Amino acid sequence: MKKSEGGQGSPLIELQGVNKEFASPGGKVKVLHNINVTIAPGEFLAVVGKSGSGKSTFLNMLTGIDRPSSGVVLVGDTPVHLLPEGRLAAWRGRAIGVVFQFFQLLPTLTVAENVMLPMDFAGLYRGKRRERALALLAQVGIREQADKLPSSLSGGQQQRAAIARALANDPPLVVADEPTGNLDGRTAGEVIALFSNLANSGKTVVMVTHEREATAFSDRAIVLADGSIESESMGARSVKKYGAQEAAHA
């Protein structure tokens, strides 16, 4: 069985000495400086930092949406920094679910069709795509919206649909770039709870957030400043897990 097909075995993720610079009219701009991070399987990692600190660029290194100028990016046994352009999209489609701030649902497809699209691209779940899409929509609480167009959904419902789409191929890693940035406080809390459930079910979750509460739901938060990891702190989720282990051993 293909590793990415069953969602079993979340990957260990490693960034080693990752640097990223962009060419700009004024010369090269260095955006990530010697980033070294290991993310454990099943970990919920929050990435915070000011606007322009390099958070999205950091995520793009994980997803292969962009390449490091130097350094190593390993997602499980895949050296993402070495994947040829032609193989990146296919790899990403099976290995990673990506969630964006502005949902990025295709407006002319129904919600269910949006969720089925990654399955179509990857050639997975043939014959049971709709059934699977409906189950995923039920999982995120919007089964009854399945046959509507995205424009008729609220922001929170659209983000739920985007999360269902990210789960289409049961990827072991889910990456989200400010998924609550466009939602009101209560809806944001509900969406974060969904990501938390994903981590509970064994998926690795990496989420960029502006929110101060990042440590309230994550295992660990890293703070980026000017493209470097400025600090790192343990989140409440990790404290809870650790506490539970302690109790179990007592």
Ligand X SMILES: Nc1ncnc2c1ncn2[C@@H]1O[C@H](COP(=O)(O)OP(=O)(O)OP(=O)(O)O)[C@@H](O)[C@H]1O
| 103 close to 149: Cβ distance less than 8 angstroms | no
- H or E, element range at 41: none
101 binds Mg ion (CB under 5 A): no
56 binds Mg ion (CB under 5 A): yes
Range in contact with ligand X (rule: CB under 6 A) among 44-52, 125-133, 214-222, 234-242: 44-52
| 172 close to 11: Cβ distance less than 8 angstroms | yes
67 binds ligand X (CB under 6 A): no
CB-based burial label for 62 (10 Å; 0-12, 13-18, 19+) = buried
Range in contact with ligand X (rule: CB under 6 A) among 36-44, 45-53, 73-81, 136-144: 45-53
Range in contact with ligand X (rule: CB under 6 A) among 46-54, 73-81, 104-112, 138-146: 46-54
User: Using alpha carbons only, what angle is made at residue 181 by residues 49 and 30, rounded to the nearest 5 degrees?
Assistant: 35
Counting residues that bind ligand X (by CB under 6 A) gives 12
63 binds Mg ion (CB under 5 A): no
230 binds ligand X (CB under 6 A): no
CB of 176 to ligand X, least distance (A): 12
Q: Which long-range contacts (CB under 8 A, 24 or more apart) does 7-10 make?
A: 7/170, 7/171, 7/172, 7/202, 7/203, 8/172, 9/41, 9/76, 9/172, 10/41, 10/42, 10/172, 10/173, 10/202, 10/203, 10/204
Residue 132 or 220: the one with the smaller Cβ distance to ligand X is 220
CB of 47 to ligand X, least distance (A): 9
| 195 close to 179: Cβ distance less than 8 angstroms | yes
Q: Which of 5, 9, 22, 36 binds ligand X (CB under 6 A)?
A: 22
Site residues for Mg ion per CB under 5 A: 55-56
Site residues for ligand X per CB under 6 A: 22, 24, 29, 31, 49, 51-57
